[in-house]
Structure 1
């Protein structure tokens, strides 16, 4: 990270910095009081992933009043995430405190170890105004608000930057530093929020020693603004700056100006957003709470039931049932030979295969003269590949599929110029995908000699299995499958890509 890049972040943390078991890799986002970094686990731990997002809230080099305020923000977020575990809220794995007197700007910082997202709604809207998945994301945001409100909390700062998108495209609410627990009908939040998403009554809020009085309808107003922006690419109130839009909101609340929703707004959403943007808290509360709002949003998206993301294209068996049956019959004759092919070395065609143990001359030997094993380094609920036999040498681990080992956020650089020598499928049985299939090509596709194999994958290792590989074994992608040796799994592997 360059000096200029560090200066642009509220909490500058150099690449490679260690806090707890985590190693900082790159900045993800920076807000008014914190900076979020991508991180990887330097040491494995039970129940924790290999990748996470570290949210640094600095306390060093601050005035006592600022320190108290930052600690309050951190305590609010930790309290909420420690108590609430809901599908539409980002997960928190642990909290840490930096103890580093040599770096006063970091010493004492609170660090939240969070589930790492793939993107944010804010970044998506910058790239693609009015995204195609916008309605589905809004339904999931609304579900997250309902989960919060049902548990007795108000978010207090709903905006695109605080909606995170996971690898599967689903949405999570994040950044609960201004959230507040309800005490009856209202709560008290720090006097801070993003003005574009602040309801008119909070532009000049009621404040006390406990903070700003806030109600759940503040989140409903913010949802209305967010939904209008996602569906039309514009804010619902006129103005080229947040200040101008706040002035327009104040005039609207006083009855001096009418709400003018975009003509691009789908008709099914028009009344929903109008009710969300009612002038007063009382009008919003009378229109709907988040439970009723969620029902209306689900209907607007296209169904009265729970919102579901678009189904992937039907599998090969459903699209071509007759051909699939013929293929299964053909594979039946060679299945036993195929399964055996994973257990023995085949030197004739150069195909790397699953092997029991290497020759003694190839096996790493420890100081006691015994063969050394390193499989124990593979984290729980992970799949691991090693550069040497018996789990020794360099290791790459994943907690799911990877379509290209040599590109993307998680890479296995050493596999680009040397073969894989051993593998450990240490994944969890409750996932329902117990086999680990691996391929020479990216995107789970065959390459080279694999194109001539009855099953066009390089190999497959069953759950809780470990072993050595021999030959020029060079996988470039892997996928968890239902079972290595069932005919269904073989057909799935052959036709899924």
Structure 2
């Protein structure tokens, strides 16, 4: 993600001084095709959260249904990884929020990731100082982050200088995980696009299924080789003045029609490391995993050898459909900790209390506090056989739709009024936005916590207009 060019509209334009939760928006930091990041100030100092942060706004409530599905999928990927993994070289997420502001339809429904504040990106550093003296040390830390990610069973899917952040102390954090994917055996599935200059040849023209592109950790290994060559020499390892020319060269190289000609400016100690990362095929690259590369990079950089990663706890059993489904979720934050040994003391999660197949609403964030659970729609939470009395005077702060995909009901829409009707300011929302909100199957996440819904209705997709006038 790079800074928005002067005069270029941001993916999400947020006015300075705008408030969401405890955070006040300040100046824009960076913008990409699908999100904009703003500096933010904590208006409630003295709490467990830092005085400043970076707010990543994803427009998950203001696009066409097809765009919304895609944007929510990207948000889901990033939130799930950041909620489940806490490691020193991965950017930390403090909380997630959803904008509830019908008076500003361009923001209403947006997903906001509250991230630790970085000083800049590797991309910005390279623009100012090609082949910086700190390059080898930075590469060792980047490889450490990649090793942490792969050890936890995830593939980044879009490793490049713009997605490497530099902290105030000069250390590295990997970021932008909206292309990240969790491994299912030897493979993972990621959206069908990435950054061509950092994409291995076998994925430049991939076979794309309804689940996306099948990728392996070796895709990140290739990207690391390209990134290392750029950091150390200021040039790409494959010839060409344009991205198209370089991708053509990559395809010729993969077929054996062209040799790999690394820059003569490349330090000798890094030459074989990068050549191994840029092996022609996945099979050749697979012999050089991230941990092996980390030890070689640390030695090449003269860096202190990092501690050995702890053994992972056994993975809890999860329904195959939960692993397989990439739902149109507004937010997702998995409650099962896969890589508990790398987590620091973060928030606790109570989503596991939600029985299958139900939709559950909670009085506190992260699935904590009091819970109400239903297996079907409910036109009035405060009457009938299943009531949710606490919502009469307290807001809902988190939700989990632990649904059954065989029913075809892929979303749950909720409303401030009874009988699936809008109430108050909700009436200003056109069409499907008249509902207060909507969440997809298997999605867990925090809400703004400023309203108490009165009814909810199971629907086919969150992008659809729900039956009953919503």
Q: TM-score, normalised by structure 2?
A: 0.63
User: Is 2:82 the counterpart of 1:81?
Assistant: yes
Instruction: Determine if contact 2:181/2:189 at 8 Å carries over to the other structure.
Output: yes
Aligned residue number for residue 63 of structure 1: 64
Cα deviations across residues 441-487 of structure 1 (Å, max 9, x unaligned)? xxxxxxxxxxxxxxxxxxxxxxxxxxxxxxxxxxxxxxxxxxxxxxx
Aligned residue number for residue 125 of structure 1: 126
Cα deviations across residues 215-267 of structure 1 (Å, max 9, x unaligned)? 00000000000000000000001111111111111111111111110000000
SS at match of 1:222: helix
SS at match of 1:213: strand
Number of aligned positions between the proteins: 304
Aligned residue number for residue 487 of structure 1: none
Q: Measure, in 1, the Cα distance between the counterparts of 2:221 and 2:5.
A: 39
Aligned residue number for residue 204 of structure 2: 203
Instruction: Determine if contact 1:295/1:304 at 8 Å carries over to the other structure.
Output: no
When residues 6 and 50 of structure 1 are mapped into structure 2, their CA distance, relative to the original with a 3 A threshold, is farther
Instruction: Determine if contact 1:142/1:293 at 8 Å carries over to the other structure.
Output: yes
When residues 99 and 5 of structure 1 are mapped into structure 2, their CA distance, relative to the original with a 3 A threshold, is farther
Instruction: Determine if contact 2:140/2:303 at 8 Å carries over to the other structure.
Output: no
SS at match of 2:74: helix
Instruction: Determine if contact 1:6/1:13 at 8 Å carries over to the other structure.
Output: no
Instruction: Determine if contact 1:97/1:110 at 8 Å carries over to the other structure.
Output: yes
SS at match of 1:26: strand
Q: Measure, in 2, the Cα distance between the counterparts of 1:163 and 1:304.
A: 21
Instruction: Determine if contact 2:12/2:35 at 8 Å carries over to the other structure.
Output: yes
Instruction: Determine if contact 1:59/1:105 at 8 Å carries over to the other structure.
Output: no
Instruction: Determine if contact 2:191/2:213 at 8 Å carries over to the other structure.
Output: yes
Q: Measure, in 2, the Cα distance between the counterparts of 1:95 and 1:259.
A: 44
SS at match of 2:38: strand
How far did residue 60 of structure 1 move? Answer: 3.7
Instruction: Determine if contact 1:220/1:290 at 8 Å carries over to the other structure.
Output: yes
Aligned residue number for residue 23 of structure 1: 24
Higher relative contact order (CA 8 A, sep 6+): 2
Q: Measure, in 1, the Cα distance between the counterparts of 2:7 and 2:73.
A: 25
When residues 68 and 199 of structure 1 are mapped into structure 2, their CA distance, relative to the original with a 3 A threshold, is same
How far did residue 205 of structure 1 move? Answer: 1.2
Greater helix share, structure number = 1
Q: Measure, in 2, the Cα distance between the counterparts of 1:303 and 1:7.
A: 41
SS at match of 2:286: helix
SS at match of 1:73: helix
How far did residue 303 of structure 1 move? Answer: 5.2
How far did residue 43 of structure 1 move? Answer: 2.2
Cα deviations across residues 146-193 of structure 1 (Å, max 9, x unaligned)? 000000000000000100000100000000000000000010001121
Q: Measure, in 2, the Cα distance between the counterparts of 1:268 and 1:132.
A: 15
How far did residue 87 of structure 1 move? Answer: 0.3
How far did residue 61 of structure 1 move? Answer: 3.4
Instruction: Determine if contact 1:10/1:31 at 8 Å carries over to the other structure.
Output: yes
Which runs of 5 or more structure 2 residues have no equivalent in the other structure?
308-470
How far did residue 305 of structure 1 move? Answer: 2.6
How far did residue 128 of structure 1 move? Answer: 0.3
Q: TM-score, normalised by structure 1?
A: 0.60
Instruction: Determine if contact 1:11/1:106 at 8 Å carries over to the other structure.
Output: yes
Which runs of 5 or more structure 1 residues have no equivalent in the other structure?
308-497
**CA RMSD, Structure 1 to Structure 2 (Å):** 1.6
How far did residue 76 of structure 1 move? Answer: 0.8
Aligned residue number for residue 283 of structure 2: 282
SS at match of 2:235: coil
How far did residue 304 of structure 1 move? Answer: 6.9
How far did residue 4 of structure 1 move? Answer: 9.4
Aligned residue number for residue 244 of structure 1: 245
Instruction: Determine if contact 1:57/1:111 at 8 Å carries over to the other structure.
Output: yes
Aligned residue number for residue 296 of structure 1: 296
- Of 8-17 and 150-159, deviating more is 8-17
SS at match of 1:183: coil
Cα deviations across residues 395-429 of structure 1 (Å, max 9, x unaligned)? xxxxxxxxxxxxxxxxxxxxxxxxxxxxxxxxxxx
